[in-house]
Amino acid sequence: MATGKNKPNAARNTVSARGKRAHRAVTILVGTRKGAWLYHADAARGDWRSDGPHFLGHIINHVVLDPRDGKTILAAAKTGHLGPTLFRSVDGGRSWKEAAQPPAFAPTARGQAGRVVDHTFWLTPVHSNQADVWYAGTSPQGLFRSQDGGVSWTPFSCINDDAQYRRWMGSAQDGTPDGPKLHSILIDPRDPDHLYFAMSGGGVHESVDGGRSFTPLLDGLDVVEGFDAAQPTFHDPHCVRLCPSNPDRLYQQNHCGIYRLDRPARQWHRIGQRMPKRTGDIGFPMVVHPRDADLAWVFPMDGTQVWPRTSPAGQPAVYATRNGGQTWQRYDSGLPQRQAWWTVKRQAMSADALEPVGLYFGTTSGELWMSADEGRTWRCIAQHLPEIYSVETGVLA
């Protein structure tokens, strides 16, 4: 089993003169195409101490700190040549050990075609009253669960092998250029049996019975012109978020716009139509405020013609709504004003829980940006990283 042998790759680059204990208020967990990095800061978020690379050369799709203990970190990994795996730290990233049983589809009988996990794409820790339970989403689309803090994983729910869900998942040609993904695994903080997930492609789905069954949740969502919106396979949710302060409210950045859903209703509303027309409402990440369900942020990208997936007109900006999507404000102070053709992936933007909330995003060109004032002003805190795949935040114990 590969263990802390990965640690020699983790060089600590102290960019601050302050002691380590001062950097405990927030940690940014960055997954890249070539490894993972952690960045630590105090509540002022002025100085950041970098810690990495971890797993240099590994493709890290997601790195998540468990908020239940503030110590456990899971990293979804693979390399260009080897199969996928998961690494696990129980000491805040100081040492790592490989999962004993990474997510894998059930073996099929000899002669039958079975699916193979190419990579784990998404990781979600569950409730504080369900210690050590995690969910994982994979490419191709599969849903997996661990009950031992990420050491061993088993296929979860019926969807991995359900004939109807398999049709909705489609083939590799129906997924993203990097493979079809199961992502945005969301757990209702009031009820762990109430959960959602999303598939690119394949739509948004809900369970109210602990995952024994799921139903599509697609009303009101647009699909690409000419396709049947009643068919889940034609839906492409890029990122779905549940508001911690109001778990009945969901936001979604979709291939076809920005949406809000207030449960128990099942009708999504396209709030992105209030975005400036020249910017549009296409993008990948979406972030919600930890204490204000009316406040959310997106990072628009160009979805015209061949889908450049870059900042419209080469002028990157974050857009915020403070009223549930009725109006939007452009925030670009501190960001390049021209010739910046950035792409921000769906997992590469997140918020911390401090006051005021800090926002973070990473670009595919390897820059990590942050705002300590809820998006109004931005500064770059790391450059020259590999292509950034994911940005998450947490608080180390």
Partner 1 sequence: MKVLIPSALLSYTGQRYVQAHGRSLLAVIDDLERQYSGIRFRIIDEQNGMRPHVRFFVNGEQVFDLGRRLQPADEVAIVQALSGG
**Interface residues toward partner 1, by CB under 8 A:** 1-2, 5-6, 79-85, 98-100, 102, 104-108, 113-117
State the nearest-atom distance from the C-beta of 111 to partner 1, in Å. Answer: 11
Q: How far apart are CA 389 and CA 90, in angstroms?
A: 23
Residue 11 or residue 100: which is nearer to partner 1 going by CB?
A: 100
State the nearest-atom distance from the C-beta of 81 to partner 1, in Å. Answer: 4
The DSSP string of 195-216 is EEEEEETTEEEEESSTTS--EE
State the nearest-atom distance from the C-beta of 116 to partner 1, in Å. Answer: 4
- Phi, psi of 174, deg, nearest 5: -95, 0
Residue 266 CB partners (closer than 8 Å, separation 6+): 217, 219
Please report how many Cα atoms fall inside a 13 Å half-sphere around the Cα of residue 63, on the Cβ side: 35
State the nearest-atom distance from the C-beta of 167 to partner 1, in Å. Answer: 20
Name the 3-class secondary structure at 312: helix
State the nearest-atom distance from the C-beta of 107 to partner 1, in Å. Answer: 6
Residue 114 or residue 210: which is nearer to partner 1 going by CB?
A: 114
State the nearest-atom distance from the C-beta of 108 to partner 1, in Å. Answer: 6
Given a contact cutoff of 8 angstroms between Cβ atoms, the answer to whether 150 and 72 are in contact is: yes
Residue 150 or residue 216: which is nearer to partner 1 going by CB?
A: 150
Residue 5 or residue 212: which is nearer to partner 1 going by CB?
A: 5
Residue 98 or residue 262: which is nearer to partner 1 going by CB?
A: 98
State the nearest-atom distance from the C-beta of 82 to partner 1, in Å. Answer: 4
Place of tokens 């060089």: 11
Residue 87 or residue 122: which is nearer to partner 1 going by CB?
A: 87
Q: How far apart are CA 15 and CA 366, in angstroms?
A: 18
Q: Where do runs of H (alpha helix) occur along the chain?
A: 163-169
Residue 46 or residue 83: which is nearer to partner 1 going by CB?
A: 83
Q: How far apart are CA 219 and CA 343, in angstroms?
A: 29
HEC string of 233-261 equals: HHCCEEEEEEECCEEEEEEEEECCEEEEE
